[in-house]
């Protein structure tokens, strides 16, 4: 478990509480990388008895820096990438199934992934995510893929939520990743983004859009695999948003490829 944090204590607590409620995997190593948070966040992380490794940066060196720190410190063959503003709503063996996808792929058994000719390097858990739209959070990644593809680009700019910088750099990392490794979706997507803002130019979203409205949906998340109407509505909305986002992302790639 590679957990990144920067302020927003309430979101961090919600992320960790729902993750631990929903995940049944028995052998987890929790690695925290904090990017210069306020004192209350640092004290909260220091007080977590289940945290195996704690990296407390004195200043915010950017999300890429913390991401690489946590991955380098992780000792397992796989690590789960997680930032501090997600909610997990489906309690099941979804992480065990993710590991099984890697094992099946290594044995040469059929796994739905893209590109098909590459070994599996990433399994994604975001509700509504599509295979072509690689992302690092929340996801299960093989350490071998991390070593082969290289570290996430680092930069010095401080981030408050998600800066445009990371999304200008991320497509280059994604391209590098796809040249060597494939991506698959979890059989049971179980994570929803709950906080912050995005100014992602790849999605054509130049202005800031808040995700705080999802907070009101937390009380209606799945419990022990039982579905409710809130989940059905959110799944439909996310599917529509993702298709629209992917179209804009492809347009961005075409423009960049043509130098426009």
**The predicted structure's pLDDT at residue 180:** 94
pLDDT of residue 236: 64
pLDDT of residue 239: 58
pLDDT on residue 188: 75
Distance CA(56)–CA(64), nearest Å, equals 15
Residues of the chain with pLDDT under 70: 127-136, 154-170, 194-260
Instruction: Copy the structure tokens of residue 59.
Output: 């200043």
Q: Which domains does the chain show, CATH number per domain?
A: 2-257 (3.90.550.10)
Q: Where are the extended beta strands (E) located within 91-164? A: 120-124, 139-142
Q: Of 93, 25, 35, 30, give the one whose Cα is nearest residue 62.
A: 35
| pLDDT score at 23 | 93
pLDDT of residue 89: 74
Handedness of CA 21, 14, 165, 152 (dihedral sign): negative
pLDDT digit string, tens, across residues 42-76: 999 999 999 999 999 998 877 788 888 999 999 99
What is the distance between the alpha carbons of residues 177 and 183, in angstroms, rounded to a whole number? 9
Q: What is the pLDDT of residue 93?
A: 86
Spatial distance between the Cα atoms of 167 and 184, rounded to a whole number of angstroms:
21
């Amino acid at each position: 478990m590679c957990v990144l944090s920067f302020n927003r204590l309430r979101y961090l607590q919600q992320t960790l509480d729902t993750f631990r409620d929903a995940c049944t995997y028995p052998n987890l190593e929790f690695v925290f990388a904090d990017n210069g948070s306020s004192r209350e966040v640092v004290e909260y992380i220091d007080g977590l008895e289940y945290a195996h490794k704690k990296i407390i940066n004195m200043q915010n060196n950017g999300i890429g820096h913390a991401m690489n720190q946590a991955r380098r410190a992780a000792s397992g063959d796989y690590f789960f990438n997680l930032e501090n503003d997600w909610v997990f709503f489906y309690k099941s063996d979804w992480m065990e199934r993710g590991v099984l996808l890697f094992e099946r792929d290594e044995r040469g058994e059929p796994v739905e992934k893209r590109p098909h000719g590459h070994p599996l390097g990433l399994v994604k858990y975001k509700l509504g995510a599509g295979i072509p739209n690689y992302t690092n959070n929340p996801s299960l990644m093989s350490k071998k893929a991390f070593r082969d593809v290289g570290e996430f680009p680092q930069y010095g700019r401080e981030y408050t939520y998600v800066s445009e910088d990371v999304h200008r750099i991320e497509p280059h990392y994604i391209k590098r990743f796809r040249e060597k490794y494939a991506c698959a979706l979890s059989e049971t997507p179980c994570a929803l983004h709950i906080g912050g803002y995005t100014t992602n130019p790849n999605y054509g979203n130049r202005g800031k859009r808040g995700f705080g409205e999802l907070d009101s949906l937390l009380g209606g998340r799945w419990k022990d695999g039982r579905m409710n109407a809130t989940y059905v509505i959110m799944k439909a909305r996310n599917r529509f948003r993702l298709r629209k986002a992917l179209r804009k992302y492809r347009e961005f790639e075409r423009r960049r490829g043509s130098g426009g």
